[in-house]
Structure 1
Amino acid sequence: MAKESIPPPNLHGINPIRNSSKKFPCGRKLALILSAVVFVVISSTYYPEHVFYGAREPAHNSQQTAIAGDEDNEMDCNLFNGTWIRDLGGPIYTNMTCPTIPDSKNCAKYGKQMDYVNWRWKPHGCDMARFQPQLFLNIVQGKTLAFVGDSIGRNQMESLLCLLSQVEAPTKVHSDTKDKFITWNFRSYNFTLMALWTKFLVEDSQREINGTLVESHDMHLDKLDARLAANLHEINILVVSSSHWFFRTNYLYEDGELIGCIYCSEDNITSFSVISAIQRVFRTAISNLNSRRESRLKLTVVRTATTAHFENGQWNTGGACNRTEPVGEGTAMTSTIEREIRDVQVEEANRAQKEKKQKGGMNIEILDITKLMSMRPDAHPGIHWNNEWMRGYSDCSHWCLPGPIDMWNELLLAVLNKYKKNMEDQ
């Protein structure tokens, strides 16, 4: 079991002095001097100048502190604009203290060097408190929160399970094949946590050729995913995300009629870009969520697209993610299309926010994590030889647990805290 635990930080081959007063004739005074020298050497090696990507803080700290329990402070600054800075405090859980950690995200178990956990997100102009699982459970007590989207959304749910399990171990109450639709319950808080797996948020069916399924889908842009629609009546808080499955040959329908396609070569079919299809899907999804009178939905959070950090190829062509530390803001690894996806997701969420002010309806917020995660190519599982569904390939899309994905839930807590009074009347 010891080899599965998170190792201590690698101090670049420099070992602290132990029992120095017994080894040197000058005694304890000389030992303290030598210890100080070692500390300076370690600091200059372990905290190189280039890791501080933002401007250094002034000597007089006049900044705000965004604390999850303080609604006013936390939403005054832009929590999504900042840098990753060194923090040796470590995460609030490890792969040994999370009872629900999936094997595919258990990076410590398979020998990944764990320095990537020694960073924290630092918004410009304010600080964020560490995740407070007790506060989170108090806010969501008696409610149901669902992550709706592809496996990256499920990855965020897995992170939240690990974080909250430090207060209470959850009970799995439902799971289907490959955990695509899974439900957990925190009994002491009557809190239900769901993952509803869907490729596109809207209805789809996979195409077949001669009885064999192919990587191509029929998407109905005007129909909400049936499984999501069937479960909306019991969901209070919804975290919505989707983007990765659009990068295939997909055929688009409205009112049952074929209106176009993505990445297809037929001359008689209108060609749609990935961006335009994603925008239509998010508009359909948000509009449908807001118009359902029977829904108990109080808050929808749109989580923006994340970066897959494959380099020198893709997952099936030798691509890998071998970096060992974050990159700076100026070199954030976000492609043009990922930025465009993020922009249309934000645009549709903002459109819904304006309609909410004019017509009422559910609250909607944005979890804008595209830029901050583009700086973290170091925190993917990478090669997973023991993982059944990625055997022999690099996983540079999902995120290790613990890891920077835990910050998504810290940001989610800030959003929930903003609306906690609004949700109390349920």
Structure 2
Amino acid sequence: MLEKTMKSSSTLFQDRFHSYTKRDRCFNIRSLVPFVLTSLFMASILSFFLLYSPLPFSVFPKRDLEIVQNQQLEEQLHIQSQTNHANSSSKSQKNEEEKSCDLFKGRWVPALRESSYYSNSSCSTIPDSKNCFKNGREDSDFLNWKWKPHECELPRFDPRIFLHIVRGKKMAFIGDSVARNHMESLLCLLSQEEIPKDVHKDSEDRFRTWYFPNHDFTLMTLWSRFLIVGEERMVNGTGSSIFDLQLDKVDDDWAKPFPDLDYAIISDGHWFFRVMHLHEAGKEIGCVYCKQPNVTDYNIDFPLRKAFQTAFSFINGCHACRNTVTMVRTFAPAHFEKGFWNTGGFCNRTGPVKEEQVDFKSFDWQVRNIQVEEIERAKEEGKKNGHRFELVDVTRAMLMRADGHPGEHWGNKWMKGYNDCTHWCMPGPVDFWNELMLAVLRKA
């Protein structure tokens, strides 16, 4: 009964609504007819006036018209001036920020989220010796930090941007096993976007080549202990850890393939901390750590500087190398405490230290200064012949990261009891080197 009553009421409402709207529409149309006719009549008169009057706007006082036009012009000029000033200020501010922002000076701050880009499962190319978690490292707080330059922000690493920049190019890391560590980090970062092909590996696993087919990008490591020729003295067929260095001869192992490179990342330093006989122009001129009579005793800084000078001299003198961008990644310090690698030294910190806790009088910092001085000299020389040099300065930041080394968690079966406080865990703060390198590449 209720349903029937509601249906009846609804029908009645619809009937009334439709009948009302019909009457209402008729009434509105009748009332609009005079208004429409009047409007058409006025429009016709105005059209006739505009078409046939020689000065149609003379009905307005000429002076008033000029005032209106001048006001409009002034407003346009004022708006344009404000826009130009805003654009100029924006560009000036951006340029000032770029000039004042030193990416290499800053501090480590807690990351809002875990800062690692990859893990054991997402990167299959992590070497066992740097796979700290696989080898028993339990703390992970060392991953939760990011580098914060004092005057700006360092963007996170974006593998798509990197691969876009290096599309169709060849890049090589030239140097020792820490240079290899740097390349291995980049390999993991890029593999999150594209899985590379392993196309070359020498018998000693010192020269490696990887290829990214989707981007036609080749990534290599070229092993060189000293950048210059350095031969180990053998005693009864066994290495003596005593080297003869030719200070004026570049190492052909990297120099020969260099002209084919588009990007070269050069780094070195750790192999200079040993006994070395120094030769120049075919003659022995001195020694490091020898303490021999009638032989000039040099500090490490002398052969180190000579090695970088010889390397940069080769590059600047190479006419076929003008398309190569040469980057120097500065010295990455070791952090042995209470001894050296073979005397019980260890590194078991779990977080970074503050900048004021860093010793900037250490030899690590001196090595960095030598590298910076020599690349600046090479850069000035390179401008004459079109050679480009860039700096990737990681030393200050890494002096604060004694927590980033494998330590005892490097899984070496043949050297148990020794700690690795020279290389870097993956993932870990070593990945920050590639954040810096990408920032430098984007500017270059």
Judging by fraction of residues, say which structure has more helix.
2
Matching residue's letter, 1:361: G
Which residue of the other structure, out of 407, 411, 418, is the alignment partner of 1:393? 418
Bigger CA drift: 408-417 or 382-391? 382-391
Superposed CA offset, 1:109-149 (max 9, x none): 12211110000000001111110000000000111111111
What's the offset of the Cα at 1:73?
6.2
- Per the alignment, residue 331 of structure 1 pairs with 357
- Per the alignment, residue 150 of structure 2 pairs with 124
In structure 2, the CA distance between the partners of 1:314 and 1:187, relative to structure 1 (3 Å rule), is: same
**Do 1:326 and 1:378's aligned partners in 2 also have CA atoms closer than 8 Å?**
yes
- Per the alignment, residue 192 of structure 1 pairs with 218
**Do 1:239 and 1:302's aligned partners in 2 also have CA atoms closer than 8 Å?**
yes
Matching residue's letter, 1:134: R
Which residue of the other structure, out of 100, 108, 116, is the alignment partner of 1:84? 108
**Do 1:71 and 1:417's aligned partners in 2 also have CA atoms closer than 8 Å?**
no
What's the offset of the Cα at 1:71?
10
What's the offset of the Cα at 1:206?
0.5
1:109 equivalent to 2:130? Answer: no
- Per the alignment, residue 279 of structure 2 pairs with 253
Superposed CA offset, 1:259-292 (max 9, x none): 1111112212211210111111101101101211
**Do 2:277 and 2:286's aligned partners in 1 also have CA atoms closer than 8 Å?**
yes
Q: Distance in 1 between matches of 2:95 and 2:174?
A: 26
Q: Which runs of 5+ in 1 are unaligned?
A: 1-63, 65-69, 420-426
1:367 equivalent to 2:392? Answer: yes
Matching residue's letter, 1:84: W
What's the offset of the Cα at 1:230?
1.6
- Per the alignment, residue 4 of structure 2 pairs with none
- Per the alignment, residue 250 of structure 2 pairs with 224
Q: Distance in 2 between matches of 1:362 and 1:193?
A: 21
- Per the alignment, residue 293 of structure 1 pairs with 319
**Do 1:206 and 1:218's aligned partners in 2 also have CA atoms closer than 8 Å?**
yes
3-state SS in 2 of match to 1:393: coil
Identity, in percent, stands at 49
What's the offset of the Cα at 1:297?
4.3
In structure 2, the CA distance between the partners of 1:363 and 1:190, relative to structure 1 (3 Å rule), is: same
What's the offset of the Cα at 1:177?
2.9
What's the offset of the Cα at 1:212?
2.9
Alignment of 1:3-18 (within 5 A): none
3-state SS in 2 of match to 1:294: helix
1:133 equivalent to 2:159? Answer: yes
1:145 equivalent to 2:171? Answer: yes
In structure 2, the CA distance between the partners of 1:300 and 1:364, relative to structure 1 (3 Å rule), is: same
- Computing the radius of gyration from Cα coordinates, the structure with the larger value is 2
Matching residue's letter, 1:214: S
What's the offset of the Cα at 1:294?
2.2
1:282 equivalent to 2:303? Answer: no
What's the offset of the Cα at 1:76?
5.1
Superposed CA offset, 1:172-226 (max 9, x none): 1111134211111111111111111111000111012344320111111111101
What's the offset of the Cα at 1:340?
1.0
**Do 2:262 and 2:323's aligned partners in 1 also have CA atoms closer than 8 Å?**
yes
In structure 2, the CA distance between the partners of 1:173 and 1:156, relative to structure 1 (3 Å rule), is: same
What's the offset of the Cα at 1:253?
1.1
Query: How many pairs are equivalent?
Result: 350
- Per the alignment, residue 93 of structure 1 pairs with 118
**Do 1:215 and 1:248's aligned partners in 2 also have CA atoms closer than 8 Å?**
yes
Superposed CA offset, 1:239-259 (max 9, x none): 111111111110111122111
Cα RMSD after superposing both structures: 1.9
In structure 2, the CA distance between the partners of 1:73 and 1:94, relative to structure 1 (3 Å rule), is: farther
1:404 equivalent to 2:404? Answer: no
What's the offset of the Cα at 1:296?
5.5
1:384 equivalent to 2:409? Answer: yes
Bigger CA drift: 130-139 or 83-92? 83-92
TM-score, structure 1 normalization = 0.79
**Do 1:232 and 1:297's aligned partners in 2 also have CA atoms closer than 8 Å?**
no
Q: Distance in 2 between matches of 1:116 and 1:197?
A: 29
- Per the alignment, residue 377 of structure 2 pairs with 351
